[in-house]
Amino acid sequence: MPHPKADDRLIVALDVPNALAGLDLASRLGDRVGFYKIGLGMLTGGGLALANELKQDLGKRIFLDMKLFDIGATVEAAVRGIAQYDLDFLTVHGDPHVVRAAKEGAAGKDLKILAVTILTSLDRADLDAALIRPGDIPEIVAERAARAFAAGADGVIASPQEAAMIRALPEAAGRLIVTPGVRPAGAALGDQKRVATPALAIADGADHIVVGRPIWQAEDPAAAAEAVLTELAGV
């Protein structure tokens, strides 16, 4: 089981090339970190095997970030297959038909379905290019979040800049808010455009923060994780 002192509000993104690199990083982080995210980029590098090993052998919690989107029957079948791995979180796109199908696929399991509202790497110009209706991003995020909750989502993925607004929604009571786009003070933004520090994201209503590059690209990943945990300890 995870170390009792592991603060599971921190989810470390294992956006590394393959499962061996992921295991190496988890080994370096040790008991400090009890929750890991494995994304689509790792899928062909042994991502599901890594998820299973971290969960079953090391007692870690696992967030599988697949952002599934398809017709309902396909999403339901995919989620039913993933749910057999006894993982903790899975992302799907927040369209109501996708969320409903994912919840059907996860029926009877503890797998939490998290809906993606608007990707944290996108800004209004990106939405215009994708023919997404006009409007401020926070307003669209809040509306998508409310619709996803109504469809049964256990939580949402949203920029830390929208966390407080989502937390204030009546539909958000008892639901999870997980925020990528979190950067410790002084860290490079990378491709993220809507960011906040770990403490601010939690203070604004996030239940979990996802931190990737600032930890796994660090010269000393364990020290970088400790710095985030120290910041979280104050909120």
Catalytic positions, written as ranges: 67
- Which positions ≥6 away from 183 have C-beta within 8 Å? 189, 192, 195, 196, 197, 211, 214
Closest alpha carbon to 118 in 100, 98, 143: 143
Angstrom distances, CA of residue 28 to CA of 3, 6, 216, 224: 14, 14, 10, 11
In order of 24, 115, 116, 206, 210, the CA distances from 178 in angstroms are 25, 10, 10, 6, 7
The DSSP annotation for 55-119 comes to: HHTT--EEEEEEEE-S-HHHHHHHHHHHHTT--SEEEEE--HHHHHHHHHHTTTS-PEEEEE-S-
